[in-house]
Homo-oligomer: A and B are copies of this chain.
C-alpha cells in the first residue's frame, strides 16, 4: 500500500498531508471501512482533516481504480483497498462482518449469452450472505 502514494504521484497527484493520511488509514488488505470510519481514524492522525476531503480523496481513489466501493447493506458505502485482486464479499447477516472471498470459476462466464440481452458485461459484484461461526454459535 505504500507504493500507492508513489503510483498516485506518478499520475500527477499532489501529495498533501490529508491524502497521505487517508492512504495510511486504508493500508492493509482486509479493511472495509465506511467513509465516516475512515474520517474518524484520519482525524486521530491529522486533527483538522475535514469530512469533505475524505470523501473527495476516496472518490478519486475509486475512479483511479485504486480502491473499490462496496455497498453490502444499503447503508453507508464501504471502501476496500484490495482493488488489484478480483474478489467478492461474504457478509454476516447478523453482525455485519465482511470477508473477501474468491469463487472457483469466473462468475461472468456463468451468465449464458441468452441472458445477456446484448449487454457488454464488464464487471460483476457478488455478495454472499449468511451467519458467521460466532453468530451461528450465539443463536441459542
Residues of A near any B CB (own CB < 8 A): 69, 71, 74, 77, 90, 92-93, 99, 101-105, 107-108, 110-112, 115-133, 136
Contacts and interface: CB of A to CB of B under 8 A. Distances in A.
A90 B118 CA distance: 11
Nearest to A88: B111
Copy number of this protein in the oligomer? 2
Contacts of A116: 90, 101
Contacts of A115: 90, 101-103
A130 B133 CA distance: 35
Contacts of A118: 132-133, 136
Contact of A101 (B111, B120, B132): B111
A62 B71 CA distance: 19
A117 B131 contact: no
Contact of A128 (B71, B102, B124, B128): B124
Given A103-B115, A115-B102, A131 B122 contact: yes
Contact of A112 (B104, B107, B110): B104
A136 B108 CA distance: 19
